[in-house]
């Protein structure tokens, strides 16, 4: 199929075309020609918008697909449709399904179900059996079967010995360990961030310390593992220079102290990276005053000081990626008293509109899009993409000034606090697998 993208501004720091307004001719899944006033066959589709922008396809590093086992909340068909509408060409799915993705059979099921979907699905396999934090999975077998990373997903890895040995096991295959930092003995029965607001609302708090202790612990364990190797210091130098070989990745950090700890670790040369959930950038703990269970997330919304530190971490490169932390929950899991409701927000369709509406000039478009493209690809060891003639046409098209109303979701679940709101910043569609898929 051939189609022409007309007058689009390129947002791609790796491309010589970055910042230029060009026409892009796509044919048979490749970028055939880039220039001005290009012509195409009479039968070719023309894609245009008043303020059209184009970048390499976006990657979401943290998606709870709920399939297999919880298909009433989400399945791979619906999550891939929501991802495409949100501008993503690639998603990495968590292992917290039923059964857990802890063996080659379940991993193979997900990969088979992902065939023919509008987006690429990359599988994060469990570190421990049933993500229970006790016995190791066959990580090397799972790695060779196609797992892009290892994590117990929504279950933070509590046992330091398991984390240390996982780092050691994955070193020979250049594997990636992902952990959501939370000391669960400090957050047991917690409902929201521990602070003045939790006291006023009478809800059990989840202290920032619970996250920061695990960040500090994991960084020290990583340092220990690298120093134990005969080439530990060389590994550090390579990690800093290449910016590609992250060994340990922190998922959904949320506190100012976590940002500072990771900033210091990077300055010391540790091969570490991290991401932030997009909703953490726009809400603080005062948003829970109305007891809206759609705002109940883990990690919880922190203080305004923490939110400012997260934006600063994005701006200076401490935070590598922005994720949706898409966590579908059905009505029966959310329409409850606040302390009984499940954690989670759906977010695949609203990542870009939230960023476009709330960035307020803190980051350039090139910086923001890098958090959705280049860095996630590097961290997950995915092939690099760039906008140039002869390259694969894996693209995201968006208009940062277009206004629209978020009236419906393609997810099976509706647990979004943004439904019914208007946004500035709209995804136009994606170009993937040789086809244009409009965001509607």
Catalytic positions, please?
325
- 226 in Cβ contact with 241 (< 8 Å): no
- 314 in Cβ contact with 54 (< 8 Å): no
8 vs 35: CA distance, rounded Å: 11
Residue (of 377, 248, 360) closest to 307 by Cα position:
360
Q: State the number of CA atoms in the 13 A half-sphere of 289 facing the CB.
A: 7
> 81: part of which helix (H) or strand (E)?
helix 76-85
With 0-12 / 13-18 / 19 or more C-beta atoms within 10 angstroms meaning exposed / middle / buried, residue 70 is: buried
> 222: part of which helix (H) or strand (E)?
helix 208-228
Residue (of 94, 17, 8) closest to 386 by Cα position:
17
25 vs 2: CA distance, rounded Å: 7
Cis peptide before 267 (omega within 30 of 0): no
In sequence order, what are the residues at sequence separation of 6 or more whose Cβ sits closer than 8 angstroms to the Cβ of residue 156? 179, 180, 181, 182, 183, 184, 214
C-alpha distances in Å from residue 108, one per residue of 69, 72, 133, 154, 300: 15, 21, 22, 21, 33
C-alpha distances in Å from residue 294, one per residue of 279, 331, 341, 346, 419: 11, 10, 9, 9, 10
- 413 in Cβ contact with 330 (< 8 Å): yes
Residue (of 361, 362, 385, 391) closest to 372 by Cα position:
385
Q: Is the Cα dihedral 289, 290, 295, 298 positive or negative?
A: positive
Residue (of 88, 82, 4) closest to 42 by Cα position:
4
330 vs 334: CA distance, rounded Å: 7
């Amino acid at each position: 199929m051939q189609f022409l993208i007309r007058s689009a501004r390129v947002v791609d720091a790796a491309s010589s075309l970055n910042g230029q307004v060009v026409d892009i001719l796509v044919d048979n899944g490749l970028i055939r020609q880039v220039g001005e006033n290009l012509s195409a066959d009479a039968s070719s589709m023309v894609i245009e918008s008043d303020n059209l922008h184009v970048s390499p396809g976006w990657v979401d590093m943290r998606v709870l697909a709920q399939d297999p086992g919880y298909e009433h909340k989400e399945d791979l068909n619906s999550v891939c449709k929501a991802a495409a509408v949100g501008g993503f060409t690639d998603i990495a799915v968590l292992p917290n399904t039923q059964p857990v993705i802890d063996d080659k059979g379940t991993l193979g099921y997900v990969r088979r179900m992902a065939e023919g979907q509008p987006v690429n699905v990359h599988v994060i396999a469990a570190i421990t059996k049933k993500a229970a934090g006790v016995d190791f999975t066959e990580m090397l077998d799972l790695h060779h079967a196609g797992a892009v990373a290892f994590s117990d997903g929504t279950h933070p890895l509590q046992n330091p010995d398991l984390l240390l040995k996982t780092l050691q096991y994955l070193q020979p295959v250049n594997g990636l360990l992902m952990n959501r930092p939370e000391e669960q003995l400090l957050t047991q029965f917690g409902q929201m961030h521990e602070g003045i607001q939790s006291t006023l609302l009478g809800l059990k708090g989840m202290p920032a310390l619970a996250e920061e202790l695990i960040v500090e612990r994991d960084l020290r364990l990583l340092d220990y593992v690298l120093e134990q190797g005969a080439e530990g210091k060389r590994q550090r130098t390579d990690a800093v220079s290449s910016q590609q070989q992250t060994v340990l990745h922190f998922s959904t950090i949320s506190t100012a102290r976590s940002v500072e700890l990771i900033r210091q670790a990077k300055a010391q040369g540790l091969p570490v990276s991290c991401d932030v959930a997009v909703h953490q950038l726009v809400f603080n703990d005062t948003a829970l005053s109305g007891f809206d269970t759609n705002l109940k997330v883990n990690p919880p919304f922190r203080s305004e000081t923490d939110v400012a530190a997260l934006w600063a971490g994005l701006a200076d490169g401490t935070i590598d990626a922005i994720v949706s932390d898409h966590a579908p929950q059905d009505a029966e899991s959310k329409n409850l008293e606040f302390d009984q409701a499940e954690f989670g927000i759906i977010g695949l369709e609203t990542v870009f509109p939230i960023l476009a509406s709330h960035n307020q000039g803190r980051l350039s478009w090139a910086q923001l899009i890098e958090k959705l493209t280049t860095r996630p690809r590097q961290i997950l060891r995915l092939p690099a993409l760039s906008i140039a003639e002869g390259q694969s046409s894996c693209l995201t098209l968006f208009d940062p000034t277009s206004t629209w109303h978020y009236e419906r979701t393609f997810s099976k679940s509706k647990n979004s606090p943004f439904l019914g709101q208007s946004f500035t910043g709209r995804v136009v569609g994606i170009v993937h697998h040789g086809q244009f898929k409009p965001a509607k």
